[in-house]
């Protein structure tokens, strides 16, 4: 199964994912990121509205981002293509694990 990394980007702070998560495919990774974002937003929507989770592949290359502000209880978040994404899952394309 592919390995995905989920970096939390909260304002100017990036919190890397040192372990990653094995999931079936990118669609499963997106659903996982949406679920994590929903949990992190709970009871702190006004603070976390601008946060996002950057999803990276096993080489720590950005795949897409899930924006907390686009998540609501009735629909899924939209993913964004990696054009112009900075490295959030690691450094120098590999990151520290």
Domains: count for the chain: 1
Helices (H), the chain: 26-41, 45-48
Tens-digit pLDDT profile for the chain (97 aa)?
999 999 999 989 999 999 999 999 999 999 999 999 999 998 887 788 899 999 999 999 999 999 999 985 434 444 444 444 555 676 444 444 3
- CA terminus-to-terminus distance, the chain: 19
Q: Does residue 18 fall inside a structural domain?
A: yes
* Residue 85 forms part of a structural domain: no
| pLDDT number for residue 44 | 81
- Domain membership of residue 97 (yes or no) is no
R_g (Cα) of the chain, nearest Å: 12
User: Could you tell me if residue 50 is inside a domain?
Assistant: yes
Q: What is the rounded distance in angstroms from the CA atom of residue 9 to the CA atom of residue 65?
A: 10
CA distances to 30, 67, 90 from 61, rounded to whole Å, are: 15, 18, 9
Domain limits at 54?
A: 3-80
Q: Domain for residue 89, yes or no?
A: no
In a domain, 43, yes or no: yes
User: What is the pTM assigned to this prediction?
Assistant: 0.75
Could you tell me if residue 94 is inside a domain? no
């Amino acid at each position: 199964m592919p390995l995905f990394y989920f970096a939390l980007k909260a304002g100017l702070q990036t919190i890397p994912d040192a372990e990653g998560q094995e999931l079936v495919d990118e669609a499963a990774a997106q659903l996982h990121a949406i679920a994590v974002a929903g949990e992190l937003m709970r009871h702190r929507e006004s603070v976390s509205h601008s946060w996002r989770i950057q999803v990276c592949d096993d080489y720590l290359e950005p795949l897409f981002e899930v924006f907390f502000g686009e998540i609501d209880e009735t629909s899924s978040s939209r993913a964004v293509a990696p054009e112009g994404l900075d490295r959030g899952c690691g450094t120098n394309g590999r990151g520290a694990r």
